[in-house]
Amino acid sequence: MDVRIVSKTFSLSGKKNIFLDNQKLYYTITDSVGGQECVKLIDKQSNIVISIIIRDITLLQDSYTIRFLNRENKPVAFKRTEYWKHNYEGSYHDDTYTIKENAFKVYGILKNGQEIGYWLKSRNFLPTNEDNFKLSDEITDFELVLSLCLIIHEKESDKRNQG
């Protein structure tokens, strides 16, 4: 399954469109919850918020909390596991999910140590704020994995905006 996250290069709203196999099925908006900036993942057809992704920043590291609004509403914490890389790990339904950045600055998404998706480095030479992912068709917690793709997109967007 192909996932493409696209946002305008210069956008004040922070809105991103998400395409699954070239169909626009989700979008995100940047908002604030309890004074913290967050990203809301929204189903395009129903306009219902599926998850909220909150980035927690401390002096030495950052972490993310994903809260699903259509399930048991328990927060899923993704803690940074290495200070010098964008590697995060968290547990959900007795499974361990990991975002892992390798030596070539390419991200993999793992479930219990097995790769279920990866980020495709853009080959576009024009300034764009787009990220592409290849995901396994057998993913059971799709909204969680899509939220992990959004975390990677946020990290890459930060890198592109810095220069």
pLDDT per residue as tens digits for the range 42-74 = 999 999 999 999 998 877 788 999 998 866 778
pLDDT value at 127 more than 70: no
Dihedral pair phi/psi, residue 144, rounded to 5°: -65, -45
pLDDT digit string (tens) for 8-36?
A: 766 666 789 999 999 999 999 988 887 78
CATH for the stretch 2-162 = 2.40.160
pLDDT mean over 66-85: 84
Handedness of CA 160, 106, 55, 12 (dihedral sign): positive
pLDDT mean over 119-140: 80
Which has the higher per-residue pLDDT, 84 or 48? 48
What DSSP assignment string belongs to 21-48? TTEEEEEEEEEEETTEEEEEEEETTT--
Which has the higher per-residue pLDDT, 95 or 58? 95
pLDDT value at 128 more than 80: no
**pTM flag (> 0.85):** yes
pLDDT value at 163 more than 60: no
SS3 94: coil
pLDDT digit string (tens) for 98-116?
A: 999 887 778 999 999 999 9
Q: What is the pLDDT of residue 11?
A: 60
* Residues 150 and 39: beta-carbon distance below 8 Å: yes
What integer best gives the mean pLDDT of the chain? 87
Q: Return the domain boundaries, the chain.
A: 2-162
Q: What is the pLDDT of residue 13?
A: 65
pLDDT mean over 93-97: 93
